[in-house]
Amino acid sequence: MLKVAYISPAYFSNVDISYINEMKNYCDIYYFAIIYPSIKGCAIELDAAHCQSGIYEAIDLPEMNRFDTFVDLRKTKLIIRNQKHSWDLQNFILTKHLYSLLKKEHFDVIHVTQPFSFFEWPLLAMRNKIVLSVHDPFRHSSQRSKLVAIYRSIMFRSLSHFIIFNQSQKQDFINHYHLQDKHVYDSALSTYSYLQIYAHPTQLSNHYALFLGKIYSYKGLEYLFPAMKKVHEKHPDFKLVVAGGGQFYFDISPYKNCDYIDIRNYYYSDEEQANLIANADFLVCPYNDATQSGVIMSAYAFNKPCLVTRTGGLPEMVGNGEYGVIIPPRDTQALVDAMNKMIENPELLQEYSHKIHKEYYEEKKSWKYLAQEIVMNVYTPMKNHKE
């Protein structure tokens, strides 16, 4: 059986835990979760007492017990990086220890989910075993800089094998970084199924749409808030819940005390996130630009349809209209019309939900299907090529 090391930062742990839960049926997979205690809103978060830098066995940490049905804790290690500066000597020491572990275990494939930081470059000595999942083939408009662009270009050209999560940006990614087409595999994301362990769906008297996730300027909230004001005029009992940490980039004072927008400007727990989704009518992702969205995959864990903008891979993630509604970005009236349509047609929402469940739990977007495809089309060819 293929032996795989899966190395990923904790801010991807919502997708990683769900992925590993299925992948462990098809290969011998070891999970190395990189923890930055200062980053909140992750599936894996540790008590402050365990935040000293080092490499820990997950089975020794009580906070990890809730994931024991999803990942093999005996094959899971937590790499805690608690340095204030990336150039701290301790980061290089941790990388050295990780390199020794990887070399000792003789993995066939090393699957990473973010470009290496400069102190992790020694791991490139194993580049012939490395495949990189590219969650953001192009940075969001609010997160771009020349330095990051140069660094990403160097990193992508230092590796050979990639997994990208939307077809719409695959060729642009290949062309931009001058990569070999045969070594860029387009997969998909499936549902963040681990969230189901937290949810308690209830019958609510008030219906609501949900915006979920960290507040960034590319997410289009400046169009959603005035749209909701118009929706409220037609549907006074319907609400919008906005849940996520971060600083608002526009004046929200007109909406702070209104009864139709519930602003929860903090980092929520998995339990709160799961229950917000489970009890929502639908989710709204009014992004100005995007690649793909973990919010949509969180919604699909509960078969909830999504209202998204036509940008990046979002239309692909809603089946080009099969699992939700697609509108142009930066269009307040389009948001109003789409939300009214979804509110007034509960049978349409039920149809979307049925299609989501069928595609993401039974067919080609299920973790079972995706895991088998990656083993067959990525992991196995990499191992055979080295042999």
Mean pLDDT of 217-222: 96
As given in the structure block, the two tokens for residue 214 are: 């960290």
Which residues is 210 bridged to in the sheet?
241, 283
Query: How high is the pLDDT of residue 84?
Result: 67
For range 226-238, the mean pLDDT: 97
Query: What span, in angstroms and rounded, lies between the C-alpha atoms of 98 and 80?
Result: 12
β-sheet bridge partners, residue 243: 212, 264
Within 10 A of 128 (CB to CB), how many other CB atoms are there?
Answer: 13
Residue 326 has what pLDDT? 98
Cβ(289)–Cβ(140) under 8 Å? yes
* Residue 137: per-residue pLDDT: 83
Residue 317 has pLDDT above 70, yes or no: yes
| Mean pLDDT within 144-161 | 83
Average pLDDT, the chain: 90
Percent of the chain with pLDDT over 70: 95
Q: Where in the chain is the domain with CATH 3.40.50.2000?
A: 3-189+367-386, 193-361
Q: Is the pLDDT of residue 252 over 70?
A: yes
pLDDT at position 81: 87
pLDDT of residue 47: 72
- Average pLDDT for 225-240: 97
Structure confidence at residue 42 (pLDDT): 81
Distance from C-alpha of 284 to C-alpha of 305, rounded to nearest angstrom: 9
Q: Which token pair is 221? A: 């909230």
What confidence category does residue 46 fall into, taking pLDDT thresholds of 50, 70 and 90?
A: confident
How many residues would you count in the chain? 387
- What is the reported pLDDT for 142? 54
Second CATH level (architecture) for the domain 3-189+367-386: 3-Layer(aba) Sandwich (3.40)
Looking at residue 129, its pLDDT comes to: 96
193-361 adopts what CATH topology?
Answer: Rossmann fold (3.40.50)
Give me the pLDDT at residue 386, please: 60
Contact 338, 232 (CB under 8 A): no
Tell me the pTM.
Answer: 0.86
| pLDDT surpassing 80 at residue 203 | no
| Buried/exposed code over 130-168 (b: 16+ C-beta within 10 A; e: otherwise) | bbbbbbbbbebeeeeeeeeeeebeebbeebbbbbbbbeb
Q: Which residues are paired to 29 by β-bridges?
A: 4
- How far, in Å, CA of 171 to CA of 209, rounded? 34
The more confidently predicted of residues 125 and 117 is 125
Average pLDDT rounded to a whole number, residues 101-107: 95
pLDDT single digits (tens) 340-356:
999 999 999 999 999 99
Nearest alpha carbon to residue 77 among 62, 100, 56: 56
At 34, phi and psi to the nearest 5?
A: -90, 120
Q: What's residue 205's pLDDT?
A: 59
Q: What is the rounded (10 degree) CA torsion for 364, 368, 372, 377? A: 40
Question: Which pLDDT tens digit goes with each residue over 153-177?
Answer: 888 888 989 999 878 888 988 998 8
Q: What is the mean pLDDT of residues 364-371?
A: 95
Confidence of residue 141 (pLDDT cuts 50, 70, 90): low
